[in-house]
Amino acid sequence: MNEQDGSTETAYEAVVRHAGDFAENVISLSELQVQLLAADLEEFHRGLRIPGFLLLLGAGLGSACFPIGLVGVALLLIQNFKLSYAEGFLMVVGAAAVLSGLLCFIGGRQLRKRMTVLRRSREEFVRNVRWIQTVLRRKRTTVKK
């Protein structure tokens, strides 16, 4: 029997009390972890507008290549520089493909930068799990003695 605050407490009761305290701490950490993740996701969502727009614009340009405008530019090149149809159209498609790739590259880089906000939640989660493991190990070695 242990004397604590003038009361007697059996080993079973002490284990139950410590387990309850530990469970309460784990639940509090879980709630804080969820709040942090929600804040990080909200921040991530706010930073998603411009990169998302650039990616959509780049993909739209790359897949559709604004056919009528590109055909018009190709015909202007053919007419003004005495090019063959193949040369004119290939020049325009090449320029559109480079522009599309550039827009997608810039949008992708900005999107990757925005995703780093989630790192904060992941790092805090890892710290919390390590704390739980440390407490469990300490409790295990204390009980064995």
7: left (phi over 0), alpha (psi -120 to 50) or beta: beta
What is the tens place of the pLDDT at every residue in 87-101?
A: 999 999 999 999 999
6: left (phi over 0), alpha (psi -120 to 50) or beta: left
What is the tens place of the pLDDT at every residue in 25-55?
A: 888 888 888 898 888 888 888 878 888 899 9
Residues in the chain: 145
Question: What's the whole-model pTM score?
Answer: 0.46
pLDDT tier at 5 (50, 70, 90 boundaries)?
Answer: low
Question: How far is C-alpha 41 from the geometric centre of its chain's CA atoms?
Answer: 8
